[in-house]
Structure 1
């Protein structure tokens, strides 16, 4: 099957979308991929072939921004399951266990340390900073 025209994608059923996917990628689409998502990927590829892809500058900018995003969240993601964080706040010691699914505090799992810190303090805090996982800048 040749690549369909962009305006024809909406009318294609699963079988024809799968054939177009096969022609594009050389293999069948993942078995549970929705038709909506297949259309989006195929539409993008059709546009790239017709108009060209992202410029080298745009690709470099995206890579740089991705690197910064990973670096900024590196500390929290660097924690390994089984680790334990302790923080004393207003005379109470709070224990947070690092799990595969996030952070366990008082029997409840949270995806974010910041939510736990906010709950403990009643105000906005960076979770990694509250638990001492980030370096603070020295005052000059």
Structure 2
């Protein structure tokens, strides 16, 4: 069996007709009507996935979510989005009391109740508006962009 590096190097030298044949062999479907560079990249990606594995389901879902947001708004959102795994427990001490929050698939659990955001929980604990990620130590103040008043 040829090594991955050899197969990737071979792709660089292939003419378009040979790339289309390699695409059929790799994907078991006719090559799309795209240029040779994209054919090479697609084939190379699939070959690397077979050796090194593919993206996780969560990563694929996040990419799809961002793709839809870009389609809708033209922006992908913050570059430093927080990603917490289900089952993670966040702990915060406040005024001498320890508070525990459980990360769930679709939000957070705090004192037996479900919340959609950490900010709602931070308000419940403190009685004041807080950024939930900041309150629980997931972001520093410097990571926030200052708000500019609309009339400025």
TM-score after normalising by structure 2: 0.44
Task: Tell which has more relative contact order, 1 or 2 (C-alpha 8 A, sep 6+).
Answer: 1
TM-score after normalising by structure 1: 0.47
